[in-house]
């Protein structure tokens, strides 16, 4: 999927970025090196390694054959290895970049559907991370295009906004590819509204691999599931073995509390990976508001998808909800005020709800400078 996104990105940047000239002239005079230099100019390529101590080690105790045994659960250090390239115009409220990009920057405005300037902006970033002993691969790639009413040229569209994006957040367990195209109207110099279509490609969210193992009384037949997955159970010898023949538990309590949760997680992941991604076409309406001064600023945006096309496929999200339609939405808010030369407040955050997934982050606080 990343390769597809990169290919689309190069085509879009090279093709639409020269929309001010005649199509035939553009194709005739097209030069790859010149085009790449133009669109890479002022972009930043970065790479960084960050690390630190994770949660502290924990002592564990167990009784085996009447004897007390002591163990130690160790959690390796946290780290992240980040690589990326970005070319995004900075809003007035955003601090100028520090000496170097290190991959830990939290730019909430990247989630906005409309950029600060007309034309193209882009971000390609991949992050290999470990947090509290769990490994993740996070990716965020997008190309964003915005135009107003004074757009001219055969390849340029007035009142148009588009964004192609690929997001993989391992910690939030969400991954999707999204393409949106919108008709955009500016109400005034600060406020704009948009309406259009969104196309998302993702795993069949809503599908529950464990549903077929549920009993009539609402409980889960987990032991039979484990046996089907290759585990063996000897209740007389109190031995529970994994598919490789290794003893993983010597008591019912350890089997239920320690082994079974991992069995269910592995089974669910396996079944989800066996399914093909589903494409979802939706209607989207949204707004974007941006006003800035040196003493106060507000940047807010919102997107609502109230209607989704049902293609009748077996794993369509329509099959896992009570109603035929549902609401997917996202929003962001960045607000700051300098009350006086010493005191200032700020609130920043973004929120997303797609299918049965929610992910968000925020920060708020105050600064007081003592003179």
pLDDT, position 18: 44
pLDDT, position 366: 94
Cα angle 111-112-118, degrees, rounded to a multiple of 5: 125
How far is the C-alpha of 219 from the C-alpha of 318, rounded, in Å? 25
How far is the C-alpha of 166 from the C-alpha of 140, rounded, in Å? 6
| Helices and strands (H and E) in the chain: how many | 6, 17
Burial letters for 132-166: b for 16+ Cβ neighbours within 10 Å, e otherwise? eeeebebbbbbbbbbbeeebeeeebbeebbbbbbb
The two tokens of residue 148 are 């107003």
pTM above 0.85, yes or no: no
pLDDT, position 96: 64
Three-state DSSP class for 253? helix
Chain position carrying tokens 């607000």: 335
Q: How would DSSP label each residue in 264-311? A: HHHHHHHHHHHSPPEEEEEEEEEEEEEEE-SSEEEEEEEEEEEEE---
Interaxial angle between packed helices 32-40 and 2-16, expressed in degrees from 0 to 180 and rounded to the nearest 10: 100
- Long-range contacts of 12-18, Cβ-Cβ distance < 8 Å, separation of 24 or more: 12/120, 12/143, 12/145, 12/164, 13/39, 13/120, 13/122, 13/143, 14/39, 15/155, 16/120, 16/145, 16/155, 16/156, 17/119, 17/120, 18/155
How many CB atoms neighbour CB 204 within 10 A? 19
Helix, strand, coil percent content, the chain, rounded in steps of 5: 20, 45, 35
Could you report the per-residue pLDDT of 54-101, keeping only the tens digit for each? 888 888 777 766 778 787 778 888 999 999 999 888 888 876 655 566
The domains of the chain are located at 2-207+276-368, 211-274
Q: Is residue 185 within 8 Å of 288, Cβ to Cβ?
A: no
Could you report the per-residue pLDDT of 251-263, keeping only the tens digit for each? 888 888 889 999 9
Ramachandran region, residue 227 (left: φ > 0; alpha: ψ -120 to 50; beta: rest): alpha
Q: How would DSSP label each residue in 150-190? A: T--STT--TTEEEEEEEEEETTTTEEEEEEEEEEEEESSSS
- pLDDT tens, N- to C-terminus, the chain (371 residues): 444 434 444 444 444 444 444 455 555 666 778 777 877 888 888 898 989 888 888 887 777 667 787 877 788 889 999 999 998 888 888 766 555 666 666 677 888 887 777 778 899 999 999 988 888 899 999 999 888 766 665 556 677 889 999 999 887 888 999 999 999 888 888 999 999 999 999 999 988 888 888 887 878 888 889 999 999 998 888 899 999 999 988 888 888 888 999 999 999 989 988 989 999 999 999 999 999 998 999 999 999 999 999 998 888 999 888 888 999 999 999 999 999 989 999 999 999 999 988 999 999 999 999 98
Three-state DSSP class for 234? strand
Q: Is residue 266 within 8 Å of 222, Cβ to Cβ?
A: no
**Torsion of the alpha carbons at 21, 27, 29 and 32, rounded to the nearest 10:** 110
Q: Is residue 170 within 8 Å of 132, Cβ to Cβ?
A: no
The candidate with the shortest Cα–Cα distance to 321, out of 356, 273, 352, 284, is: 356
pLDDT, position 19: 46
Ramachandran region, residue 316 (left: φ > 0; alpha: ψ -120 to 50; beta: rest): beta
């Amino acid at each position: 999927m990343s390769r597809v996104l990169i290919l689309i990105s190069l085509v879009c940047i090279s093709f639409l970025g020269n929309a001010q000239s005649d199509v035939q002239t553009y194709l005739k005079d097209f030069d790859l090196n010149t085009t790449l230099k133009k669109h890479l100019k002022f972009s930043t390529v970065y790479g960084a390694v960050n690390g630190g101590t994770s949660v502290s080690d924990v002592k564990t105790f167990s009784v085996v054959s009447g004897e007390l045994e002591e163990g130690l659960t160790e959690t390796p250090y946290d780290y992240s290895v980040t690589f990326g390239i970005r070319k995004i115009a900075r809003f007035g409220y955003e601090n100028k970049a520090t000496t170097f990009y290190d991959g830990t920057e939290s730019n909430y405005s990247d989630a906005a559907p409309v950029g600060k300037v007309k034309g193209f902006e882009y971000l390609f970033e991949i992050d290999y991370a470990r947090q509290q002993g769990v490994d993740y691969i996070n990716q965020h790639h997008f190309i964003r295009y915005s135009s107003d009413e004074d757009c001219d040229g055969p390849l340029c569209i007035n009142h148009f906004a588009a964004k192609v994006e690929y997001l993989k957040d391992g910690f939030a367990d969400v991954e999707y590819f999204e393409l949106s195209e919108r008709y955009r109207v500016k109400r005034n110099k600060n406020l704009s509204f948009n309406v259009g279509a969104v196309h998302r490609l993702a795993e069949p969210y809503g599908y529950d691999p464990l549903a077929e193992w549920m009993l009539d009384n609402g409980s889960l037949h987990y032991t039979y599931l484990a046996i089907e997955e290759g585990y063996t159970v000897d209740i007389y010898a109190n031995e529970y073995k994994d598919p490789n023949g290794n003893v993983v538990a010597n008591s019912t309590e350890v089997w239920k509390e320690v082994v079974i949760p991992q069995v269910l997680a592995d089974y669910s992941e396996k079944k989800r990976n066996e399914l093909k991604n589903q494409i979802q076409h939706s209607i989207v309406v949204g707004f974007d508001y941006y006003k800035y001064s040196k003493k106060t600023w507000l940047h807010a945006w919102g997107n609502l998808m109230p209607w989704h096309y049902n293609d009748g496929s077996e794993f369509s999200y329509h099959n896992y909800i009570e109603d035929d339609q549902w609401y997917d939405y996202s929003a962001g808010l960045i607000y700051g005020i300098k009350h006086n030369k010493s005191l200032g407040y700020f609130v920043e955050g973004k929120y997303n709800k797609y299918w049965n997934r929610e992910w968000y982050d925020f920060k708020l606080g105050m600064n007081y400078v003592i003179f």
